[in-house]
Amino acid sequence: MDAERVDPQVRAARRMPDLPVYRLWGRLLVRAGVHLLPRDRRPGVRVRRVRRPRLRVYQPVRSGGGAGPALLWFHGGGLVIGAAVMDDRLCATVAEELGITVVSADYRLAPRHPFPAAHQDALIAWQWLQDHAEQLGVDPDRVALGGGSAGGNLAAGLVLHLVDMGGVQPVAQWLFAPMLDDRTATRRELDAIKHWVWDNRSNHFGWSACLGTEPGGPDVSDHAAPARRTDLSGLPPTWVSVGDLDLFLAEDVAYAERLTGAGVPVTLEVVPDVPHGFEGWAPEAEVSRAVEQRARDWLATALG
């Protein structure tokens, strides 16, 4: 990637070097560093931890009467790194600005825990939120699913799982540069492109670790790789945003277009001059603030 193409404010915010998550020492360093990140402590939001399942619950101090909507959020990290705490800022901001409950879920990581471990944890988090809706002041019929990168994979995969199961359905899916298609990792010509933050070497490792086998095979579940789903009809309204310098650009645009073709209301934002995960590591950049504000406005409308 030509660094000069990257938005100047985003480029200036990038202080941490890319670490090879396909090496054990790289994953261990990232996992340790995540837990050293500063916590978001804003007076308008209460944050508490749930230990089983492992969740972080964000609730506005002031909320209206009656049951309100909620967001179930999944963090990113290629299914091999990351933790719910790293999205404190995003979750607290959504809870405060929209006045809703946000539940952010941890999940088991590959390669120690391959598919379907993380996806089972996502379903458990959904079931926990449904079971505790009354005590949380949440309307169980007004819950959106969201996530960034690998978290977008879990959110989109959970949407498909819930459609297959029947019963209560999410009202929206809110996806930031979601990791949707294992077949991208098989395009080894992409290895030569230096995508910031998440390149195709890391992508190949992430998918291989998750699937327990080489990506691109004929038997990959569409719950693991949502882009594999042939029929996307009946899914909830969807937000998809992705940078035009992101490895996931093509697969995310294709998924959004297929959703639209299936009659699903879709808002697709292709953000110019930004790489993967820019909102998280360059939150003060003008482009990050603008995209996140539009995303929150969309979510507020989708939740009614």
Q: pLDDT digit string (tens) for 164-183?
A: 999 999 999 999 999 999 99
CATH number at residue 188: 3.40.50.1820
Which of 87, 121, 276, 288 is the catalytic position? 276
Domain that holds residue 264: 3-303
Residue type, 123: L
Total count of domains within the chain: 1
Distance CA 54, CA 65 (A): 28
Grouping H, G, I as helix, E, B as strand and the rest as coil, residue 52 is coil
Question: What pTM was computed for the model?
Answer: 0.95
Which of 121, 246, 252, 288 is the catalytic position? 246
Which of 87, 106, 149, 223 is the catalytic position? 149
Sole residue written with tokens 């390669």: 111
Using 50 as the pLDDT threshold, list the residues of the chain that sit under it. none
Integer CA distances (angstroms), 105 to 143, 157, 179, 201, in order: 14, 15, 17, 26
Distance CA 84, CA 69 (A): 20
149 is catalytic: yes
Integer CA distances (angstroms), 225 to 19, 214, 276, in order: 24, 13, 19
Q: In what order do the strands lie in the sheet with 172-176?
A: 45-50, 55-60, 101-105, 68-74, 138-148, 172-176, 238-243, 266-271
pLDDT of residue 265: 98
Q: pLDDT digit string (tens) for 179-205?
A: 999 999 999 999 999 999 999 999 999
Distance CA 283, CA 293 (A): 11
Q: Which of 293, 297, 290, 226 is nearest to 264 (CA)?
A: 226
Distance CA 137, CA 67 (A): 5
